[in-house]
Amino acid sequence: MLSPALNERLTRVGPGTPMGTLLRRYWYPVAAVSELGRTPIARRLLGEDIVVYRDGTGALGCIEAQCPHRRASLQYAVVEQEGLRCGYHGWHFGRDGRCLDQPAEPADSTFKNRVRAVTYQVQELGGLIFVYMGPDPAPLLPRFDLFVWDNCLRDIGHATLPMSWLQVMENSVDPHHVEWLHGHYMNFVRELSGDPRAKILARKHEKVAFDQFEYGIIKRRVLHGMSEDDDDWKIGHPLVFPAMLRVGGGGHYQFQIRVPIDDTHTSHFWYSVYKPDGEYTVEPQESIPLFTVPFTDDEGNFLVDFVDGQDIMAWSSQGPIADRSREHLGKSDIGVVMLRRLFQEQLDLVQEGGDPLGVVRDEAANECIVLPQERKKFGAGGAFRQEFLTMGQGRYSPIAEEVLDLFERVEQQEAPV
């Protein structure tokens, strides 16, 4: 358990808080590129309201949500050749926040030179728009492998969740929940609904381990009937500090990105890449589609008949911010304990003026950062299709048919003649 004071230190993310100061050392996705058209879009990140836009030059901009003049929303601004112009009184701001024009002020006025809007750095990568809100010099936006691979299909699932991002991240180092929540409980849910599908094999975790590496924590496990020679132990998969998990295998690889909107809300992206082993060619996608992952029914009850819905139920039912002073952690919770200690260490490091874990500043190393990942997690062919369609976002993805067609083509090539 944690003291209430330490729980506050780990969960409050607004400006000036210890955790907010740490988290501002990293880049976060705030939107899909496909969402951005002629008008700005409003977002909230780390307790601050911002607006993201693309101006007439094609460059991205990120500015505080309210105009410095009379605080009208810049979500309704006019996008200019450079920057944007407030729709209320026409004040024009460049991408760097400088006020370029104040139409109602005298022609010889220098007032505009004394006004500056708060702006943040913004970049796009892999179909996502990332924002950095921390001090200069900004670190590089990490070019993790799934964002830069070619010859693959991608889609992006999203949901806005009503709980602290930390609850979601702690789940990433809690492997024992998989056999119960996504195994025994899934079977129970299917039994109640009369689902005729065969029961899921809920293998017991015989051994788990967690190793820190340069970008976070590697999670390893040995399941009943398996050994340390299997990918689950030899390779494992990473929690990318501070707010991302990589999962997958069998040609379907995924980043689960948990973006802190504020203390009690999380913007969750499921960034999926479909890249089976084998010979094939995929036409480049014009844009990466975005879709919403639902997690409640019309009556507000959690949808618990698929993996992600079950996770969201478990995260959300702890409350907007989990009361960790009332927990009773056991020996099986070593990953959760490790993650909390790692956050505390990194909080202290930043307060001392250092770069926290995983910050990237080496251009050469940032061409393509390859992360460790099991490759034989779900198998291929039929095993993949079962996972994709019934237990993951495949049931919602707008490119589900294209993905299945790709895997079927590869499977047919590999079938014996």
pLDDT bracket for residue 377 (50, 70, 90): low
Q: Which whole number is the average pLDDT over 32-52? A: 97
Q: Give the up-direction half-sphere exposure of residue 124: CA atoms within 13 A in the CB hemisphere.
A: 18
pLDDT of 383 strictly over 70: no
Per-residue model confidence as pLDDT tens digits over 99-147: 999 999 999 999 999 999 999 999 999 999 999 999 999 999 999 999 9
Residue matched to tokens 């237990």:
391
pLDDT of 380 strictly over 60: no
Which domains can be identified in the chain, with CATH numbers?
27-132 (2.102.10.10), 145-414 (3.90.380)
pLDDT of 416 strictly over 70: no
- Supply the pLDDT for residue 385: 60
Residue 133 CA to residue 94 CA, distance in Å, equals: 18
Q: Which whole number is the average pLDDT over 361-376? A: 92
Q: Are strands 27-32 and 92-93 parallel, antiparallel or unpaired?
A: unpaired
pLDDT bracket for residue 387 (50, 70, 90): low
pLDDT bracket for residue 381 (50, 70, 90): very low
Per-residue model confidence as pLDDT tens digits over 312-323: 999 999 999 999
The lowest-confidence range among 100-114, 160-174, 192-206, 219-233 is: 192-206
pLDDT of 390 strictly over 80: no
The lowest-confidence range among 75-79, 147-151, 239-243, 410-414 is: 410-414
pLDDT bracket for residue 414 (50, 70, 90): low
In the chain, pLDDT over 70 holds for what percent of residues?
95
Q: Which whole number is the average pLDDT over 163-192? A: 95
Q: Which whole number is the average pLDDT over 187-209? A: 90
Per-residue model confidence as pLDDT tens digits over 220-267: 999 999 999 999 999 999 999 999 999 988 888 999 999 999 999 999
The lowest-confidence range among 115-124, 144-153, 195-204, 269-278 is: 195-204
Mean pLDDT for the chain overall = 94
pLDDT bracket for residue 341 (50, 70, 90): very high
pLDDT of 289 strictly over 80: yes
- Supply the pLDDT for residue 199: 84
